[in-house]
Structure 1
Amino acid sequence: MKIESLYTQIDKEIDSLENPEKSIIFLNNTSKKRKNFFILPRRKALNYKSVGFFIGNEVICENVCKYIDGKAKYVLVDTENKQNFNLFSIAKKNISKSQVIPFKPNDVTVESCDLLVRHLFEEDIQGKKVLIFGSGNLASKMALRLAERQAEVVVWARNQEKAPTIVDALNYILPKYNDTKIKLFHEDENGFDLMISFLSAENVIGANFFNYLKKEGTVIDGGINNFSKDFIEVALNNGVSFIRLDTRIAFHYALMSLNLETFHFFDNVFGTREIEQIRCVAGGILGKQGDVIVDQIKHPTQVIGVANGLGGVKHECELTDEERRKISTIWKYILQSNKKNL
């Protein structure tokens, strides 16, 4: 594919970005062997519009990064090294006019799958039997997530040597009093309410697995094309709900760093400041012993307490006279500030 033809495709996509201040370009990669370049679906969330490009090799990556520089406010770059070149490092080196922001597509995928499952089961996954195909990053994260939601999770993996170690590790991570433990798949299993696939290979799950699914069960193809043609035909002919995971469900998750609420937190809530010559902290800042903790640093409305210097708040009975004076002074400041704002 000639570079010039790529530029034509890129220009067509970028032309769809109407507001330069709310424009995003995504650069993605995958562990699957695909084309060296293709256009990803356009997306819209939180008043941002985005276009996306799949990048499959280093040379194309360098050329695309140079070409798109300055053509969108933000460039969000896949930071998960899935192939033998570092997409994020190349982007940082070749993009200077647009702001380069790292993002993790796997996290967006997991959030999308979780939201989809919660929607399908109307927020009640407890006790449901789930078969997850895969033992890699996405499959493991989803297995843990659903087990924490008290689903009965069973894992099937192609790598029979690695799978027991993964399942054991996940069970160690689960809360101590979790009702169920994640299990490895056995052929005597049946009655699954839900099947989720996160395999890197295509057409792996044959029609024989359909027999393990409940009559009105649901199938989510998260790895895309993981299920064989025979499985899909049998599933659809038997009224099974078969869904290919669409990560647009949690697209807004990738934009959290650009969200006004996030900006508000760091601009108004998070930080340290002296008020009436008293050191105050907010937003999770670990205060020194005697610092006054407030709800937000720029315009406080509440005194949380006095820091004990160890990440906690002093109990009322531990407060010195000086610390009580500090609390009183900050409360007076807050009340006076409120009067001025009225």
Structure 2
Amino acid sequence: MPPKSDINKVGTESSDFPILCESCLGENPYVRMSKQEYGKECKICTRPFTVFRWNPGAGARFKKTEICTTCAKIKNVCQTCLLDLEYGLPTQVRDAALGRLNEAPTSDINKQYYTQVMEQAMANTSSGQLQDTPDARMASSAAKEMLKELARKDPYYKRNRPHICSFFVKGECTRGNECPFRHEVPQENGLEKQNMADRYYGRNDPVAKKMLSAHAESKGLVAPEDKSIMTLIFLGLPECQEQDVRTSLLSSCPFIQQTQIKSLSIVAASHCAFTTFVNRGIAERTAEALSAQGGIEVLGKRGKVVWGKSRPARGAAASAAAAGKAKAAA
């Protein structure tokens, strides 16, 4: 009689071919790959998996798979670059536009349990893929158009270039033109602080933050410099109740908890609503998500989202501020 399977036991993952995007696969139609079964552990679920290694083309560095096929299918991402397979965008940008909740198990036991549950869910479908959530299926056309607009039209093979030579950065490389690495001065753009788990789960991704900020700026939704402003204003709303706006907000941004909304008030005469959050971080994340979705939809009508403004200082506070400005000018 076979032993009873343990849901918390670390399993293994085997595959015949990797799940890759066109950029990582390379422009060469005849790619030779080496295959090593259970060569490394997945950087997400920590299970041993089949590692593939190949050269995408002339002048490119050798690339390999970093996560297992199960984790790639769960997020629909490439096993190497961890970008979305449909749009070629970071998962944080995609999930913000489609209103998806980022699930991130923390402990090893939770990771193993979550992976096995997802495997069973995919095995029960005819396509072998996870079904879209209702929020993703009902995503607005504006959100999908935004993703298509940000997506690259052609493969980005420049991503396969060799890494920068660390000896050249220190001024100690003696190989010259024979050095297989790039002789360039690295630029500080935040990518050096990114890790694989954050890129996979769509949190604290510097590339995604840059893309979302640029899109919000193009829509006139730039976060104000005053960090005390934590209010978003929804304009052009239909006749609705406070609960209608709250429900639409929570469904559009599933990362928001009820306790993170400090106050929500509706001005019926102006067809607008004022929503104040408990901290600036959740307000900025909500603004980015709603900007990616083309606004907030309440009772079938889509409203515009803008930042609130700081209140003018009054009384003693105003006098102190004026005195401070006069002193600075002097």
The TM tier, using the shorter chain, reads under 0.3
- Highest CA radius of gyration, 1 or 2? 1
Normalised to the residue count of structure 1, the TM-score between the two structures is 0.19
> Counting strand residues as a fraction of each chain, which structure ranks higher?
1
Tell me which of the two structures has the higher relative contact order, counting C-alpha pairs closer than 8 angstroms and 6 or more residues apart.
Answer: 2
TM-score (normalizing by structure 2): 0.20
